[in-house]
């Protein structure tokens, strides 16, 4: 809801500035989204008078003006406006000023060889209108040299975010009422109008749908003269974000914005017979004012005549019965519509409007007659005309709502002590009627449908009294050290996120929704996809079965923008179909490596791309940081059809428990994401990592370094050429768990001295003595265990 300060002051007697009004609105729960001061946009623009105008020596359509800016030193300005002439008083933009319409900063410049010291402005350039045919012409007595913002009377505009539970503040008068109750001025009462009809209404008005439209009032005004609204009305509508259309339409919008009361004006010449509210027929269509056609059903209320539908009731009027410049006779309609019916209709048609926003929240059912009277007076003031009598069909639900209220609840629920007389003053200032006693009987005004019970009254009292006066009280807390609140899963996520960042990976956050085509690439083996029945768009139709599609799309975007090397990771959930159709959400870590691992250089020659070993290294390192037993993992195939065969694999703890898959992306999958070049990917299933035994019951032991120095021994084995080196490392390390701390491959040789079909693998084995140093017999015994374990894989110790 936007409004100018002067517009507010028409209903609230106050000297408060825009900043003070905004501060008080925030204090009483009406959040101010911003203050726009047009004077700031008009800084640097001045009322100026053209002294002389001469033809530009080198341009037929330009003139060289001598302009008086009020400081005694005329400025030379080049201007192309056809109405520029000597004696004209207009608006000059000085060097350094920013043109509101396009943000251009004015400066001294030479135009066709002639110096120009600014610009004479049009209304469009200053965003004061749409006229761009010539420069602004001010009255001859306009004070030359005065800042234009001061002369124009630039009025601050306040933008308030109205929550759905405050329909009374969808009109400016409701905001003024709240401010007056909060002590920021005096509320001016709404003038009670009684405009008698000069003749009987010639149109039959009725409601054939009393559930959807309980009350339907109307009157005819003949002899109106439509046209542009006066400037004051246009300025107020523009301040509210409305586009002025014509005096008749602007009048209805003005009453809606002022009092929160939507209404509609029909061109009487375009109506046929009676005008009435009824249910729409299934399949019936209407062309709305937004020039779109809507198909209706029997659950919707419409306004129609004997020829057919004219309006979608309470939401938007029809195109063919609207008022135009030649309209002379009109029918004013003002009604009360069922809020739930309006909301359902708007959702079905996907149609929003200012009227719908107010009707579905609930308008004041007691303001039909006065709303019609105020609209009639405004139209007669703007357009003239003679009004008929009022025709009333049905009646609005005006039964008063009375709430029993114990003022002691304010202290109990609100946490602040407010004197009884202050509580009564606040409620009465907000329009409630209070009958005091042991328990107060509070009658709720019609413009507050959101108030249902005593807690709502407590809220009204506390917010007007001052939310800042509610004491901040800490929650009770027991003595001692606070227990940790992070779950093991949360701790794991934090640890893995830090580890990935420490390895030089950049975190990405992508959508949990994917296009169908991208999700299909990674849907294999996931038991089907979760498809949304009402997606935001086709690009967000399917819940992601893997984190890799989102990361690959991010890689594509970055490569397209010139990135040469990408190391991305994301920690999030993938969504699978569980048993009986239940959702199965699993925490996963995705890593994508693309582009150059190392740039070209004198040492490397060409740029070095990422390969499958880089992916494996990242997988092993991150699994180790996540707490997985990396030294016990087995490398196996079957990474999936998305991976390059022969350049991918899985890391498993046992034959079935897959902890990760890694490798190069299959070229077909890469083409699906329009990525050129090799891409290494990793997907780690954090939910598959087994927890440590006893982690929940035993404390971590303190670090105690061994007393004796470690011993290293090197072993070289001849093994079959197709034996994975990791298998040999694993069996050697497990040959003597009491003494062998680690085993590391440091050489892989194939060539002279190695039989064909075999290879030589050299391992460095670290031994850690515990109670005493090793003797030669101890080392021989350990070597015997190592060679025996390696022999199971067909490995023979080289001589």
Q: Is 70 exceeded by the pLDDT of residue 524?
A: no
More confident residue, 590 or 655: 590
- Same-domain pairing of 55 and 83: yes
pLDDT band at 696 (very low <50, low <70, confident <90, very high): very low
Domain assignment present for residue 228? The answer is yes
Distance CA 634, CA 632 (A): 7
Q: What six digits make up the tokens of 22?
A: 């905004």
pLDDT band at 186 (very low <50, low <70, confident <90, very high): very high
CATH code for the domain of 285: 3.50.40.10
More confident residue, 705 or 703: 705
| Least reliable range by pLDDT among 395-404, 431-440, 474-483, 587-596 | 474-483
Q: What six digits make up the tokens of 697?
A: 């019951």
- Same-domain pairing of 543 and 531: yes
Q: Is 50 exceeded by the pLDDT of residue 418?
A: yes
CATH code for the domain of 615: 3.30.930.10
DSSP state letter for 300: S
DSSP state letter for 481: P
366 is in an annotated binding site: no
| Least reliable range by pLDDT among 372-376, 427-431, 723-727 | 723-727
pLDDT band at 487 (very low <50, low <70, confident <90, very high): confident
| Least reliable range by pLDDT among 5-9, 78-82, 222-226, 704-708 | 704-708
Q: Is 90 exceeded by the pLDDT of residue 200?
A: yes
**Residue written as tokens 């004479």?**
120
- Same-domain pairing of 730 and 625: no
- Same-domain pairing of 211 and 348: yes
- Mean residue pLDDT of the chain comes to 91
Cα 732 to Cα 133, 667, 777, 785: the distances in Å are 90, 37, 19, 8
| Proportion of the chain above pLDDT 70, given as a percent | 98
CATH code for the domain of 105: 2.40.50.140
pLDDT band at 697 (very low <50, low <70, confident <90, very high): very low
CATH code for the domain of 419: 3.30.56.10
Domain assignment present for residue 558? The answer is yes
pLDDT band at 179 (very low <50, low <70, confident <90, very high): very high
Distance CA 257, CA 363 (A): 12
pLDDT band at 506 (very low <50, low <70, confident <90, very high): very high
When pLDDT is averaged across residues 483-498 and rounded to a whole number, the result is 89
Per the CB < 8 A criterion, the answer to whether 644 and 671 are in contact is no
When pLDDT is averaged across residues 719-748 and rounded to a whole number, the result is 90
Cα four-point dihedral sign 319, 323, 329, 332: positive
778 is in an annotated binding site: no
According to DSSP, the residues that pair with 90 across neighbouring strands are: 48
438 is in an annotated binding site: no
When pLDDT is averaged across residues 480-493 and rounded to a whole number, the result is 84
- Same-domain pairing of 436 and 511: no
pLDDT at 654: 84
Give the torsion through C-alpha atoms of 446, 448, 450, 452, to 10 deg.
Answer: -70
When pLDDT is averaged across residues 145-164 and rounded to a whole number, the result is 88
Q: What six digits make up the tokens of 110?
A: 């030479």
Distance CA 604, CA 358 (A): 70
Domain assignment present for residue 479? The answer is no
Residue-wise burial string across 176-209, b where 16 or more C-beta atoms lie within 10 A, e elsewhere: bbbbbbbebbebeeeeeeebebeeebebebebeb
Distance CA 723, CA 730 (A): 12
Domain assignment present for residue 343? The answer is yes
pLDDT at 580: 63
Domain assignment present for residue 532? The answer is yes
Give me the domain span that covers residue 608.
488-688
Q: Which of 524-528, 688-692, 772-776 has the highest mean pLDDT?
A: 772-776
More confident residue, 382 or 485: 382
The predicted-structure confidence for 265-288, as pLDDT tens digits, reads as follows: 999 999 999 999 999 999 999 999
Of 370, 394, 418, which closes a domain?
394
pLDDT at 693: 59
pLDDT at 486: 86
Give the torsion through C-alpha atoms of 668, 670, 675, 676, to 10 deg.
Answer: -60
- Same-domain pairing of 117 and 171: no
Q: What is the pTM of this model?
A: 0.64
pLDDT band at 525 (very low <50, low <70, confident <90, very high): low
When pLDDT is averaged across residues 381-393 and rounded to a whole number, the result is 95
pLDDT at 465: 94
Domain assignment present for residue 774? The answer is yes
pLDDT at 692: 66
Domain assignment present for residue 375? The answer is yes
Q: Is 44 left (phi over 0), alpha (psi -120 to 50) or beta?
A: left
Q: What six digits make up the tokens of 481?
A: 């050290």
305 is in an annotated binding site: no
Print the SS3 string covering 408-420: CHHHHHHCCCCCH
- Same-domain pairing of 601 and 750: no
Largest CA distance in the chain: 126
- Same-domain pairing of 731 and 671: no
More confident residue, 129 or 208: 208
The predicted-structure confidence for 631-680, as pLDDT tens digits, reads as follows: 788 888 888 899 999 899 999 988 889 999 999 999 999 999 999 999 99
Beta 565-577 vs 506-507: how paired, if at all? parallel
Cα four-point dihedral sign 303, 308, 310, 313: positive
Distance CA 472, CA 601 (A): 63
- Same-domain pairing of 628 and 584: yes
- Same-domain pairing of 147 and 168: no
| Least reliable range by pLDDT among 129-133, 390-394, 669-673, 683-687 | 129-133
The separation between CA 683 and the C-alpha centre of its own chain, rounded to angstroms, equals 30
Q: Is 50 exceeded by the pLDDT of residue 698?
A: no
Angle subtended by helix axes 231-239 and 247-259, to nearest 10: 50
Provide the domain count of the chain: 6
Number of residues written out for the chain: 799
- Same-domain pairing of 767 and 780: yes
Domain assignment present for residue 401? The answer is no
Q: Which of 18-32, 569-583, 629-643 has the highest mean pLDDT?
A: 18-32
pLDDT at 530: 87
- Same-domain pairing of 643 and 679: yes
The predicted-structure confidence for 50-60, as pLDDT tens digits, reads as follows: 999 999 999 88
């Amino acid at each position: 809801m936007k409004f100018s300060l002067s517009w507010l002051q028409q209903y609230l007697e106050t000297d408060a500035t825009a900043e003070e009004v905004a501060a008080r609105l925030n204090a009483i729960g009406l959040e101010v989204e911003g203050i726009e001061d047009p004077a700031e946009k008009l800084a640097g623009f001045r009322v100026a008078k053209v002294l002389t105008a001469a033809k530009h020596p080198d341009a037929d359509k330009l003139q060289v003006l001598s302009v008086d800016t009020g400081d005694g030193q005329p400025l030379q300005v080049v201007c192309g406006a056809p109405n520029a002439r000597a004696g004209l008083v207009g608006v000059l933009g000085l060097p350094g000023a920013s043109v509101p319409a396009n943000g251009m900063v004015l400066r001294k410049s030479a135009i066709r060889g002639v110096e120009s010291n600014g610009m004479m402005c049009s209304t469009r350039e200053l965003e004061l209108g749409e006229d761009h045919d010539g420069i602004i012409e001010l009255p001859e007595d306009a004070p030359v040299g005065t800042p234009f913002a001061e002369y124009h009377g630039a009025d601050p505009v306040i933008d308030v975010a109205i929550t759905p539970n405050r329909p009374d503040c969808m009109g400016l008068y409701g905001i003024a009422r709240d401010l007056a109750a909060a002590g920021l001025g005096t509320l001016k009462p709404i003038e009670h109008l009684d405009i008698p009809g000069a003749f009987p209404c010639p149109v039959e008005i009725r409601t054939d749908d009393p559930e959807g439209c309980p009350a339907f009032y109307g009157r005819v005004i003949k002899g109106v003269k439509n046209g542009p609204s006066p400037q004051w009305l246009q300025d107020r509508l523009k301040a509210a974000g409305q586009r002025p259309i014509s005096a008749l339409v602007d009048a209805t919008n003005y009453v809606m914005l002022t009092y929160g009361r939507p209404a509609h004006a029909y061109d009487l010449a375009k109506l046929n017979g009676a005008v009435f509210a009824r249910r729409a027929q299934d399949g019936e269509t209407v062309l709305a004012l937004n020039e779109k056609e809507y198909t209706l059903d029997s659950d919707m209320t419409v306004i129609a005549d004997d020829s057919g539908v004219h309006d979608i009731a309470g939401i938007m009027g029809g195109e063919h019965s609207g008022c135009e410049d030649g309209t002379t006779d009109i029918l004013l309609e003002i009604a009360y519509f069922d809020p739930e019916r309006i909301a359902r209709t708007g959702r079905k048609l996907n149609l929003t409007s200012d009227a719908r926003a107010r009707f579905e929240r609930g308008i004041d059912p007691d303001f039909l007659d006065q709303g019609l009277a105020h609209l009639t007076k405004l139209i007669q003031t703007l357009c003239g005309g003679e009004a008929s009598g009022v025709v009333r069909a049905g009646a609005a639900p005006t039964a008063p709502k009375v709430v029993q209220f114990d003022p002691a609840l304010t202290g109990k629920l609100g946490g602040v002590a407010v004197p009884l007389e202050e509580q009564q003053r606040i409620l009465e200032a907000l329009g409630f009627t209070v009958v005091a006693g042991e328990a107060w009987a509070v009658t709720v005004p019609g413009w507050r449908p959101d108030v249902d019970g005593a807690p709502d009254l407590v809220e009204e009292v506390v917010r007007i009294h001052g939310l800042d006066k509610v004491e901040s009280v800490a929650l009770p807390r027991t003595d001692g050290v606070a227990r940790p609140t992070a779950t093991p899963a949360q701790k794991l996520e934090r640890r893995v996120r830090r580890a990935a960042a420490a390895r030089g990976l950049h975190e990405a956050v992508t959508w949990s929704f994917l296009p169908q085509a991208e999700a299909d690439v990674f849907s294999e083996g996931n038991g089907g996809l979760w498809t949304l029945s009402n997606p935001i768009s086709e690009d967000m139709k399917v819940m992601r079965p893997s984190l890799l599609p989102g990361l690959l799309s991010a890689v594509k975007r970055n490569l397209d923008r010139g990135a040469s090397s990408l190391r991305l990771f994301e920690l999030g959930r993938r969504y699978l179909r569980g048993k009986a159709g239940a959702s199965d959400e699993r925490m996963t870590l995705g890593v994508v490596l693309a582009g150059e691992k190392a740039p070209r250089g004198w040492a490397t020659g060409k740029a070095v791309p990422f390969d499958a070993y880089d992916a494996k290294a990242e997988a092993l390192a991150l699994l180790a940081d996540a707490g997985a037993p990396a030294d016990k993992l087995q490398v196996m195939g079957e990474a999936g059809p998305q991976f390059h065969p022969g350049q991918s694999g899985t890391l498993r703890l046992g034959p079935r428990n897959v902890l990760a898959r890694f490798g190069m992306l299959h070229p077909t999958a890469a083409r699906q994401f329009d990525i050129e070049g090799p891409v290494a990917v990793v997907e780690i299933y954090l939910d598959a990592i087994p927890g440590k035994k006893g982690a929940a019951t035993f404390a971590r032991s303190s670090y105690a370094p061994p007393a004796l120095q470690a011993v290293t021994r090197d072993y070289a084995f001849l093994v079959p050429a197709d034996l994975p080196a990791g298998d040999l490392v694993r069996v050697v390390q497990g040959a003597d768990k009491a003494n062998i701390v680690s085993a590391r491959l440091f050489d892989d040789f194939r060539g002279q001295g190695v039989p064909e079909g075999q290879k030589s693998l050299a391992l460095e084995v670290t031994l850690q003595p515990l109670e005493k140093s090793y003797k030669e017999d101890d080392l021989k015994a350990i070597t015997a265990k190592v060679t025996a374990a390696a022999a199971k894989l067909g490995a023979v110790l080289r001589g």
